[in-house]
């Protein structure tokens, strides 16, 4: 298995909703990432997990809450989002001490 | 401050000819560079990479050249095919399992 799987592919949520994005990989990668990509912009890093521990938080607002329950799963919990948070959310993984990043197909999030 | 720059937003080439996509960077700490191909509503797909200790890496139709003194890299696609039409992102890293900094991307159109 050489893929990063993200679910759901599309999500529409209201500003008062709570939802979660899920990411899964079975490549044995011990580093996992969340990126955010707005339309016609490059992906921007949000969080990095190394060995299931948060190692980088790029000053992301607390309405985004990451969680890494085990070495194969990465979640992004969403609460009280704003319409400007609408974007493509990308998950990626890589082996430790390696540049071999693999990206998922992303979740297209729309906040209404 | 944009640390990875792709100054041309688009490029159009004839099928069978060479496509040259350029990328410049400003951060001297970057030691690894990657090129990704992206279709709309999908995650980036890894194409080819190069370490800062090399000046060239080749994989089939794709070759990446790195000029460290000029802080410039380029992706050559030969011969170009219509299926190569997509957005191409240049990305750089200053350490394994660190953040990838992306350029804005360039839209390549290969005309039949």
What pLDDT was estimated at residue B98? 80
B57 touches chain A (CB under 8 A): no
What pLDDT was estimated at residue A40? 82
Tell me the C-alpha distance between B106 and B109, whole Å.
10
- Substitution target from A74, A99, A109 for chain B, most B beta carbons within 10 A: A99
Question: Could you report the per-residue pLDDT of A6-40, keeping only the tens digit for each?
Answer: 999 999 999 999 999 999 999 999 999 999 999 88
Residues of A with CB under 8 A from a CB of B: 4, 6, 31, 33, 35, 41-45, 48, 50, 55-56, 58, 88, 90, 92, 94, 96-106, 108
What pLDDT was estimated at residue B95? 83
Q: Binning pLDDT at 50, 70 and 90, where does residue B97 land?
A: confident
Distance between start and end Cα atoms, chain A: 36
Cβ within 8 Å, pair A99-B32: yes
What pLDDT was estimated at residue B2? 82
For the segment B73-82, the average pLDDT, to the nearest whole number, is 98
pLDDT above 70 covers a percentage of chain A that reads: 99
Residue B12 clears pLDDT 90, i.e. is over it: yes
Cβ within 8 Å, pair B96-A98: yes
Q: Binning pLDDT at 50, 70 and 90, where does residue B93 land?
A: very high
- Among residues B4, B3, B1, the alpha carbon closest in space to that of B105 is found at B4
List C-alpha distances in Å: B93 to A9, A21, B19: 27, 26, 24
């Amino acid at each position: 298995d050489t893929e990063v799987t993200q679910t759901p592919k599309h999500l529409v949520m209201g500003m008062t909703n709570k939802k979660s994005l899920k990411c899964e990989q079975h490549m044995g990668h011990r580093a996992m990432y969340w990126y955010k990509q707005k339309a016609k912009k490059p992906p921007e890093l949000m969080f990095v997990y190394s060995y299931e521990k948060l190692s980088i938080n790029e000053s992301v607002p607390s309405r985004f809450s990451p969680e890494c329950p085990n070495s194969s799963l990465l979640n992004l919990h969403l609460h009280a989002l704003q319409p400007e948070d609408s974007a493509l959310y990308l998950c990626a993984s890589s082996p430790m001490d390696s540049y071999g990043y693999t990206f998922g197909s992303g979740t297209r999030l729309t906040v209404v | 401050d944009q640390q990875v720059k792709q100054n041309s937003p688009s490029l159009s080439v004839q099928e069978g000819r060479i496509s040259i996509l350029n990328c410049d960077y400003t951060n001297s700490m970057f030691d690894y560079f990657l090129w990704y191909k992206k279709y709309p509503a999908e995650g980036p797909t890894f194409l080819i990479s190069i370490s800062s200790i090399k000046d060239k890496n080749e994989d089939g139709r794709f070759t990446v050249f790195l000029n460290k003194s000029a802080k410039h890299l380029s992706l050559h696609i030969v011969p170009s095919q219509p299926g190569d039409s997509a957005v191409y992102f240049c990305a750089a890293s200053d350490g394994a399992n660190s953040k990838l900094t992306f350029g804005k991307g360039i839209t390549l159109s290969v005309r039949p």
